[in-house]
Structure formats: C-alpha cells, structure tokens
Amino acid sequence: MSFDGSAESVPADHVAVTERAIRPDSERLIRLLRDSDSATRTLAAWTGGPVLLEVVDRHDDRLSATEFADLDLWRPEPVQRRKIRLLDNRNRVLSEATAIVVLGRVPYRTALALRDGDVPLGLLLAPLHPKRHTLSVVRGSDDQPDNPLFDITARLDVGGSPVAFVRERYLPEVLL
C-alpha cells in the first residue's frame, strides 16, 4: 500500500478490522470515565486538547417528585437544569449531557458561575473535590453510524452529599 498521496482502494478486510477496533477504544473510554471524577478532564486527556462547553439550555427549576431520590432530597429545593455539549478544538461534538444541579449544595460563587458562565460543571466543582459515581452505562447499537457510542448516568457528590445528577451521551466523534 502506497502512502504517497495517490488514491488507492482499501481492502474490505482492512475496513472490518478498523470497525472492530472502535469497540475496544469505546470500552477503554468507558473505563476511564468510570474511574474519573471529571468527564471534562477525561475528555481533554483523551483528545489531547481543550474541551469547550456549549450551553444549549440552562434554567432554574424545582425537582419533580421522581427526582428527589436521585439527589437524596426530602423537600423541594432550587436546582439548575443544564443541557450542554462538549466539543473538541475543531468544534466536533464529543458528548451531549443534561444535568440537574442542587444550587443549595454548592457555594454561592459556584452557583453564580453555573447561572452565568461557560465553564463545564466538573471544572466548576473541581475545587470542592467532587466524587463521581457512575450509576449506569448503556452501550449504543452498531447498526447506525449516527447512534451514540454509549450513554452514562452519574451522580456527583461533594462532601458526601449529592450535588448533581447527569446523563451523558458520547458520540462517535470522540473516537476520531
């Protein structure tokens, strides 16, 4: 096979090997995310560059009755609902996430930064030494190239108290 820039067809068995190689990379990324307390920092290390935040939606709200247990709450408390995308330095969407953050369980300055800033949640919580608990991993189907690689549901605790519940969807671009 020539590497001089000339167009040359790639044998079908080479393509099959490449497609199978995606699964081990995906499984490795899942392990790294499970072992990490910051998905953003893990993605930055994985991609070898900065990870940028795009806020799709963010608004203050109250918890629904079914969400109390996820955050170990017994009464209504103000929360922020966030929908974001994490992008690499070439503006490829690596992951999409939704989060519910209990504003009363973070310092006032952190709550302000959540309302007005564009810093990812994990980086804002970093000075508080959060502990990330992966609650579930659901692997995507290989049927469609646009399907997510996997979804992760996790909870972020600070000082033993849950402060955020996140659902993350990792897209194929994260492996490129």
pLDDT of residue 10: 35
* Whole-number percent of the chain with pLDDT over 70: 84
Question: Is residue 66 pLDDT above 90, yes or no?
Answer: no
CB 170 within 8 A of CB 93: no
pLDDT of residue 140: 87
Q: Which residues of 73-85 are buried (b: 16+ CB within 10 A; e: fewer)?
A: beeeeebbebebb
The Cα 119–Cα 115 span in angstroms is 10
pLDDT of residue 145: 63
How confident is residue 142, by pLDDT bands cut at 50, 70 and 90? low
pLDDT of residue 18: 41
Of the candidates 137, 165, 154, 141, the residue with the CA atom closest to the CA atom of residue 27? 137
Mean pLDDT of the chain: 84
Q: How many CB atoms within 10 Å of residue 116?
A: 8
How confident is residue 174, by pLDDT bands cut at 50, 70 and 90? very high
- Model confidence pTM above 0.85: no
Domain range summary for the chain, segments of one domain joined by +: 12-175
- pLDDT tens profile 91-106: 999 999 999 999 999 9
Query: With the CA atoms of 117, 83, 77 and 73 taken in that order, what torsion angle do they form, in degrees rounded to the nearest 10?
Result: -120
CATH number of this structure's domain 12-175: 3.40.1410.10
How confident is residue 15, by pLDDT bands cut at 50, 70 and 90? very low
* H or E segment to which residue 24 belongs: helix 12-35
- pLDDT tens profile 37-64: 999 999 999 999 999 999 999 999 988 8
